[in-house]
Amino acid sequence: MSDPKIRLLFTRAQLIAMKRCADCGWHPPTQGHHPDCPTKEPEPAPVGSTVQPRP
């Protein structure tokens, strides 16, 4: 059951060009991410920061 229920209507290149998530096809600034999207990051993490803050 590892089949993600995500259907992309465009290619990854097209999605990136439209500033959409290449994994789920949603528009993060307005829609966020698909519930099953493997990339649920609102924005890319800054380079050089390997230590993540703990709550």
Burial class (CB within 10 angstroms; exposed 0-12, middle 13-18, buried 19+) of 22 = middle
One of 29, 33, 42, 48 touching Zn ion (CB under 5 A): 33
Nearest approach, Cβ of 47 to Zn ion (angstroms)?
20
Q: Is 24 in the site for Zn ion (CB under 5 A)?
A: yes
Burial class (CB within 10 angstroms; exposed 0-12, middle 13-18, buried 19+) of 24 = buried
Nearer to Zn ion, 11 or 39 (CB): 39
**Site residues, Zn ion (CB under 5 A):** 21, 23-24, 33, 37, 39
